[in-house]
Amino acid sequence: MQTNSENAVAEEIEESIAKVNVRGVVKEISMKVLFAVAAALFVLAVLTICIYLLLDAIPTIGEIGFVKFFTDDRWLIRSERFGIGSLVVGTALSTVGALVVGVPIGLMTATFMAFYCPRWLYKIIKPLTNILAGIPSIVYGFFGLTVIVPISRELLGGGGLNLLTTSFVLGIMILPTIISISENSLRAVPKPFYEGAVALGATKERAIFRTMFPAASSGVLTAIILGMGRAIGETAAITLICGNIDQIPGSLADPFITLASAIASGMGYASTTNLERPALIAVAAVLLIIILLITTVVMLLKKKKY
C-alpha cells in the first residue's frame, strides 16, 4: 500500500502534467490563431488590391469603350484617346524576345548543372545563380543602358533604346528563374528513369533529352512560364531601356513601350482632371489579370508529379 507521502507526490506529478498539457493546448491554439490571422491578412491584402483595381478599371474601360481600349494603338492625353494596343504588342514582343534569349541558355545551363557539372564547379555556379536572382532590377536597367545600348546603337543605329536591347536584358533577368526551377525539376526525376534508358543502350545525351526532360516537362514549363511572368511584369529596368515611345515596333531597332513601363513613366505626372490617371489604373488591372492567369497556369502545372 502507498503511504500518504507517496500519494501526495503522485498527485503533485499529475497536477504538473495537467498544467503542462493545458499550457501546451493553449500555446497550440494561440499559434493556430496567429497563423490564421496572418493568412487572413495576406488574403485580405490580395483581395483589396484586386477589388480596388477592378472597381476603378471597369467604369474607365466602359467609358473609353472596351474594343477601343484594347485595340486602339494610340495613347494621346490631350485628345483623351487611351488605347493600349501598342502597349500590349510591345509587352508581347519584348516577352517573346526575352524567352528567345533566356530559355535556351537557361535550359542548357540547368542541364549542365544537373548532369555534367563537377561538384567543385557546381558550388560556384549555384551561388552565382542565386546572386543573379537577387540583383535589383534597376541595376539590370543601368547595365543595359551603359553596356547593351551602345552595342545596339552600333549594330542597328538609332538611339539604342529599342526592342533588341530590352529583349536581351529581360532574357538575362529571367535566367535565374528558369535555371533554378528547371534544375530542381530534372533532379526530382527518379534516377531509375535515367539508368533504365542507359541500360537499354541510350547515350547519355539521348537519355537526358528523351527520358529526363519529358519526365520533368511540367517543372520545365513552370520555369518558362514564371520567367515569362517576370518579363511581362518587369518595370524599372524596362523603363530605362525601351525608349517609352507609344508605337508598335516594326523592327528590333525601334523603341516601344510596355504595360508596366507606361504605368511607371506616366503615373507620377498623370492628370486627375481627365481620364489619364483612371486609364493608367485600368492598364494596371489588365497587367494584374495577365499575371493572375499565368499564376493559375503554374498552379495547374504543379499538380503534375515532376
pLDDT in tens, 157-202: 888 899 999 999 999 999 999 999 999 999 988 888 888 888 888 8
Q: Is the pLDDT of residue 93 over 90?
A: yes
Same domain (yes/no): 185, 270: yes
Q: Is the pLDDT of residue 91 over 90?
A: yes
Confidence of residue 29 (pLDDT cuts 50, 70, 90): confident
**Among candidate residues 64, 92, 107, the one where a domain is terminated:** 64
**Among candidate residues 64, 90, 112, the one where a domain is terminated:** 64
Q: Is the pLDDT of residue 15 over 80?
A: no
82 DSSP β-pair partners: 75
What domain range is 134 assigned to? 70-302
Average of pLDDT values for 37-43? Answer: 92
Same domain (yes/no): 60, 98: no
pLDDT tens readout for residues 261-283: 999 888 878 777 778 888 999 99
Backbone dihedral region for residue 234 (phi beyond 0: left; psi -120 to 50: alpha; all else: beta): beta
**Among candidate residues 46, 64, 82, the one where a domain is terminated:** 64
Same domain (yes/no): 172, 287: yes
Q: Is the pLDDT of residue 20 over 70?
A: no
Confidence of residue 141 (pLDDT cuts 50, 70, 90): very high
Q: Is the pLDDT of residue 9 over 90?
A: no
Same domain (yes/no): 44, 136: no
Same domain (yes/no): 51, 129: no
Backbone dihedral region for residue 81 (phi beyond 0: left; psi -120 to 50: alpha; all else: beta): beta
What is the model's pTM? Answer: 0.84
Same domain (yes/no): 161, 41: no
Same domain (yes/no): 44, 95: no
Q: Is the pLDDT of residue 81 over 60?
A: yes
Same domain (yes/no): 112, 162: yes
Q: Tell me, what CATH number does 231's domain have?
A: 1.10.3720.10
Same domain (yes/no): 18, 108: no
Which pLDDT does position 101 carry in this prediction?
95
Which pLDDT does position 254 carry in this prediction?
92
- The answer to whether residues 94 and 169 touch, using CB atoms and an 8 Å cutoff, is no
Which pLDDT does position 31 carry in this prediction?
83
The C-alpha cell at 132 is 543573379
- The answer to whether residues 144 and 72 touch, using CB atoms and an 8 Å cutoff, is no
Same domain (yes/no): 21, 127: no
Total number of domains in the chain: 2
pLDDT tens readout for residues 240-249: 999 888 889 9
CA trace torsion 288, 289, 291, 293 (10° rounding): 160
- The answer to whether residues 149 and 164 touch, using CB atoms and an 8 Å cutoff, is no
Where are the alpha helices (H) located in the chain, listed in sequence order?
A: 4-64, 66-71, 85-111, 119-134, 137-143, 149-156, 163-173, 175-188, 191-199, 204-207, 213-215, 217-233, 236-241, 259-266, 276-302
Which pLDDT does position 4 carry in this prediction?
58
Which pLDDT does position 40 carry in this prediction?
93
- The answer to whether residues 261 and 211 touch, using CB atoms and an 8 Å cutoff, is no
Same domain (yes/no): 234, 291: yes
Which pLDDT does position 10 carry in this prediction?
57
Same domain (yes/no): 101, 227: yes
Range in 2-6, 12-16, 32-36, 97-101 with the lowest mean pLDDT: 2-6
Average of pLDDT values for 59-87? Answer: 87
pLDDT tens readout for residues 189-237: 888 888 888 888 888 888 888 888 988 888 899 999 999 999 998 888 9
Taking the CA of residue 293 as centre, how many other CA atoms within 13 Å lie in the half-sphere pointing to its CB?
9
The whole-chain average pLDDT of the chain stands at: 87
Q: What are phi and psi of 244, to 5 degrees?
A: 55, 45
Q: Is the pLDDT of residue 106 over 90?
A: yes
